[in-house]
Structure 1
Amino acid sequence: MNSADLLERVRVKLWSTAVGPAIVIWFFGYVLVDIVAFLVNRSAPGMSLVASIPMLVLGVCQTEAIDMLRARMERFRWTVRASLLLLATLSATAVQALFDLYWTRYVALAFFPTWQTWALQITPQRISTAGVLNLWTFCLALTLLWAARASRSAEVNAARAAEAEAAAARAQSAALRLQLNPHFLFNTMNSISSLVALDRKSEAEEMMGRLCDFLRGSLNADPMADVPLCQEIDAIDAYLSIEATRFGERLEIDIDVAPDTVDAAVPSFILQPFVENAIKHGVSLVKGPAHVTVAAVREDRELVLTVTNSASFGDPAVPGHLPSRHSTGIGINNTRERLRNRYGVRGKLVAGPTNDGYRAAIRFPFTTCR
C-alpha cells in the first residue's frame, strides 16, 4: 500500500467517526485564540497555537467520548439521554477549562516568561471565561456531529428507499411483461385449433412451427432488458406471420421503420399488446379486408412507435366492438405501467379509435443499444 492510499484510508476513518470533525472544530477554536493573543500582544503568531496542542488533543478525546456516550444511549428515553449528555458535557467543560488554565501556567513558567504576567493569575473571571469558551466549543462540536450523522442517516435511508423502489419497479415491469405471453399463447392456440377443426392441417403445422420460433425468442429474452428496435420488429413480424396464416389475404400488413431507428433501445415486447389488439379488434371482428400498420420514427430526441389498424366494415354494427377511448385492456394498462416504471413522465401512450379503426402511439426518449 502506497502513502497516498494510506492517507486516504486514514482520512476516511477519521471522518467516519467524530474524530475528524472534532479536530477541525477544536483546531479552529485554538486558531482564534492564537489570533486574539497576537492582537493583544501576548505572543507571536503561532506560538499560542503550538502551546495549545495538548489542550486540542484533550478536547478532541473528550468530544469523541461524549459522542460515543450519545450513541450508546439511543435506546434510553430522551429525558435520560438529555440529562446524561448535559452532565457529561458540563464535566468535560470543567476538565477542559482547568486543564487550559494550568497547562498555560506550566508553559509560562517553563518556556515563556513573558506570559507569566497574565498566565499565573488564575482568577474567577479567567475560570468563567475559559468555561464559557470551552462549553461553547463542546456544544458546537456535538451539534455539528449530530447534524452530520442525521444527514448521513437520511442519505442512507433515501438510498435504501430508492433501491427498494427501483427493485419493486423492476419486479413490477417484469411481471407486466410476462403477462403478455400467456395472452398471446392463448390466442395462437385458438387459431391453431380453428385450423385443425377446418382441416387446414398444413397451415396448422406451419403456424405451430412459427409459434415455436416466436416463443423461443420470447422466452430467451430478458423481460427487464431493452432490445434493439430491429429485434422487436422481428418478433412482431413473427407474430403477424402467424396471424396471417389464419386470416390469409384478408389481412394486409405494413411495417414501416425509419432507418435511423433500427438500433433504438426499446423495452422488450412493448408493441405486442397493441398488435394483438389490432388483430383482435381490427381483423377478427370485421368481415372485410383489414390493414395493420406498425411504424417507427424519430422526432428530435424521442422515439415514436405507432400501431394502427383500419378495416372495411361489412356490418354497420361491427364498429361498436372496437376498443373505446376508455379501454381497460390488460395489454394497454400493462404498457402504461411499464412506460411509467421505465421512463417516468417522459414515457407516453396515446391510444384511441379513429374513423375506421384504432391507433396507439408510444413515445419515449431515444437511445441506442450500441
Structure 2
Amino acid sequence: MTVLLPGPGGGLRSYEPRTEPRAVAPGTPFTSRTVLSAAHVVADPFADAGPGSPAAVDWDATLAFRRHLWSHGLGVAEAMDTAQRGMGLDWAGAAELIRRSAAEAKAVGGEIACGAGTDQITAGSLPEIRRAYEEQLALVEESGSRAILMASRALAATASGPEDYLEVYGHLLRQAAQPVILHWLGPMFDPALEGYWGSADLDAATEVFLDVIAAHPDKVDGIKVSLLDAGREVALRRRLPDGVRCYTGDDFHYPELIAGDERGFSHALLGVFDPLGPLAAEAVRVLDTGDTAGFREILDPSVELARHLFEPPTRFYKTGVVLLAWLAGHQEHFAMVGGLQTARSLPHLARAYELADRLGLFPDPERAETRMKTLLALYGVSS
C-alpha cells in the first residue's frame, strides 16, 4: 500500500509506509539522567468552544497520555508551553491540569514537575507580577509537585532592566518550599519573551541568569534552557554551581547534549519527547549502561523529525506533536484547544507523518496510515 503525500513544492508523491512498528517495551525510570517530557493536552472536540473561549479539555485522554509517558519511565513536565500555555490554555485550565496530573502522578508513582508563571495577568506592576507568580507557585507546591518557574510575558513587558529580574526571582526563590527549575524560554518559542533577563544580548542575559542562580543555589534544582543553541547551553552548563542541573530544552541538539562530554552532560526536559517518548526511553536505558554510542545510534535519527516539527515559526510545533499523538492512537481526533490544528500546512503535516513512520513511532502503522489518508482526503487528496 502507498500513500500520496503533498510536497512543499506542490504536487503529490508516493510514500510506502512501514508495516511493523519499532518494538519498545515499557520500563522503569532511568539511572544516569533525569528525563522529563513536556506533554500536550487533548482537546474535547464535542465542546461548544469558540475563539476566545476557555479551553475545553478531554481529561480522560489527557491523563491517559501521561500514564503512557510514565509507563516508559519518563517524567512529565506539566502545564508547560507544550500544553499550549498562553496559546489556547489559560490559567484556569492550567490550574486544573496541574491538580489532576499531580494527583495521577501520586496514584501511579510517576515523576512530575509543573509550570508556574503569571498567565492569569497580561501586564502589571512588579508587585502584581510577584503575586501572580506566588499564586501559581503555591498551587503547584500544594499539589505535591516540583515547580518549574516559567518565563513571564508580563515581567518581560514590565521590567526596566536586570535588577527587576533579580528582585522578582530572588523574592520567589526565597519563599519556595523546595528547589525549583528555572526556565529560560527563547523568543523563537514565544516572541513576547524577547530580551528576557533584561537584555536582548544573550551574553548579558546569561550573566543575569547566573547571578539569580548564584544568589540562591540551594533553591535551584536546575535550569531548563530552550534557546536552540547547543554551544551556549554547554557554556552555561559548565558555569552552574555544584548540584544545579542543566535540563536541555534544545529540540534541535538533544542527543549530543544529553550524551555530554568529558566535562559534563545535560538532563532533559523536552517537548519533542512527547512524540518520541518510547524511543527516547529506549535510548536513555542504553545510556544507563554506559553505551554512549548505542544511545546516539538510537536517538540521532530522530533529530530530522524534531527539527521539522520545531521549524519556524517554532511556537507552532504543538500542531505536529498532536498530529502524531492522533496517528499513534493516543487520542481519537486531530483537534486542539484554540483550533491550533490549523497552524501548520498540509505538506508540513505530511512530512511529519513520513518521518515519524520511518522511525517506527506508530504502534499500529496501519491505523496511522488510515488516519493520515482520512486527513488527506479532507484536503481533497484521493489515495
Report the TM-score range of the alignment, normalised by the length of the smaller protein: under 0.3
TM-score, normalisation: structure 1: 0.21
* Max Rg structure: 1
TM-score, normalisation: structure 2: 0.20
Larger RCO: 1 or 2 (CA < 8 Å, sep 6+): 2
